[in-house]
Amino acid sequence: MIKKILKVTLGSTLLFGSVYAKTVEKPKKKEAYSAVWQKIYGGKEDDIAYGIVALENGESAIVGTCKSFGAQKSDICVTRMTADGEMRWRLWLGGKKKDEGKAIARTADGNIVVLGRSKSFTKAYAYDLYVAKISLDGKKIWEKTLGGDRDEYAGGIAGTDDGGVLLVGASESYGKGNKDIYIAKLDKNGKLVHAHTIGGEKEDVATALTRTRDGKMVLVGYREIEYTGDSDFLIMQLDQNGKRRWTKTFGGAHEDMLLGVTATVDNGIVAIGSTRSYGSSQTDLTVMKIDAKGKTIWHKIYGFKYYEYGNAVATTRDGGFMLAGGTNTLGKGNHSVYVLALDRSGELIWSHVYGDERKDVAHGVARMSDGSMIVVGETNSFRREKNFYLIKLVKQ
């Protein structure tokens, strides 16, 4: 693949190729966001929150992987939270082996659907994809597993107009590469409509999925094209049946990957991840806006001396974006939760680190119906075990 890189300064006109600007943060005169509360949930074993979706009245539903509270080796756990950060209910999904939660979304009828992977329902000692639909009062409606003789990897999930779901991830069981992108459509009752893989001889992985305003689906991830271990950014638009409409792949000389995505009001997307290219010292957080036709509108990189990375992104009420991930350059611990707010042009307006002296990482972020933002992830700064870490932010 020919990689065309044009370095520009902030505010320059985008012409073609992969255009980016690396930003050095400046001290802010005013805090644009403040934390209304920070909550920690968990037991005597590791419990980690990976995804969040908004419900009505400022409430939310969170998916994660839990080992506490009577879980087997590990279970997929789904928790419904009030707007004040109090737990309404918790549901465990899985079996007697390892089960891991990854993504969460709403279906057309307003219920909740979660995606993870499981070893509990397969005869082979490998992970299958696991999908479950859950009612708003915490009852399992149906569950489904998908996979072959080798491991499958959960990426993202979104509801379709017909009441079903589209899910993406990666498969070692199917396709022709080490890992290939796996795309599956389920109907409203959890029945498999169809599934297929996309990929080459090396790794092709979908890590997240979003539905755009006009009903299209966009997955993000990474793809190895030239050398194993040196991946490029991957963005792919699909229809609601999972058929590919266009693909965009680009990157620098080293490892570049996208890990989170959200839809924008103009039918485009903003994607977030990490890069070791573009002058990065170690790993920097990368974020980019792509329009409905796959054109790069802007591409920004935020980083310091060591490791910064972005795991999730959501739109804010004023049309900007909130980014959530981690840093081990800033903060007290070996990793701190790193949260940034950008305006609609991708300009940094605020950033903050959260956590204490151990490891704190954000894995998900969403805008609530009341306009607040909730960041979810993990912490072991306040207890020996990893616990759910929730931060509710409001604009000043």
> What pLDDT, on a 0 to 100 scale, did the predictor assign at position 305?
87
Whether the CB-CB separation of 53 and 114 falls below 8 Å is answered with no
Q: What is the CATH number of domain 14-395?
A: 2.120.10.30
Asked whether residue 21 carries a pLDDT value surpassing 60, the answer given is: no
Q: How confident is the model at residue 67 (pLDDT cuts 50, 70, 90)?
A: very high
Task: Please state, rounded to an integer, the average pLDDT across all residues of the chain.
Answer: 91
> What pLDDT, on a 0 to 100 scale, did the predictor assign at position 30?
65
Asked whether residue 46 carries a pLDDT value surpassing 50, the answer given is: yes
> What pLDDT, on a 0 to 100 scale, did the predictor assign at position 219?
98
Write out the E strands in 119-229.
Answer: 128-134, 140-146, 152-159, 165-171, 180-186, 192-198, 204-211, 217-227
**Other CB atoms within 10 Å distance of the CB of residue 293:** 11
> What pLDDT, on a 0 to 100 scale, did the predictor assign at position 25?
52
One-letter amino acid at 201 equals: E
Q: What is the pTM of this model?
A: 0.91
Distances (CA, A) of 96 to 75, 92, 118, 129, 139: 9, 12, 10, 16, 20
Residue 281 CA, distance from chain mean position: 24
> What pLDDT, on a 0 to 100 scale, did the predictor assign at position 224?
93
Domain residue spans in the chain? Answer: 14-395
Q: What is the distance between the alpha carbons of residues 194 and 108, in angstroms, rounded to a whole number?
A: 19
Helix or strand run (H / E) with residue 285: strand 284-290
What is the percent of the chain with per-residue pLDDT over 70, rounded to a whole number?
92
With b for 16 or more beta-carbon neighbours within 10 A and e for fewer, the 213-241 pattern comes to eeebbbbbbbbbbeeeebbbbbbbbbebe
More confident call, 3 vs 325: 325
Q: What is the pLDDT of residues 114-161, one digit of tens each?
A: 999 999 998 888 999 999 999 999 999 999 999 999 999 999 999 999
Residue 67 zone, left/alpha/beta (φ > 0; ψ -120 to 50; rest): alpha
Q: What is the pLDDT of residues 78-107, one digit of tens each?
A: 999 999 999 999 999 999 999 999 999 999
> What pLDDT, on a 0 to 100 scale, did the predictor assign at position 281?
81
**Radius of gyration of the chain from Cα atoms?**
20
Which one of 3-12, 264-273, 353-362 scores highest in mean pLDDT?
Answer: 264-273
> What pLDDT, on a 0 to 100 scale, did the predictor assign at position 328?
92
> What pLDDT, on a 0 to 100 scale, did the predictor assign at position 81?
97
> What pLDDT, on a 0 to 100 scale, did the predictor assign at position 122?
87
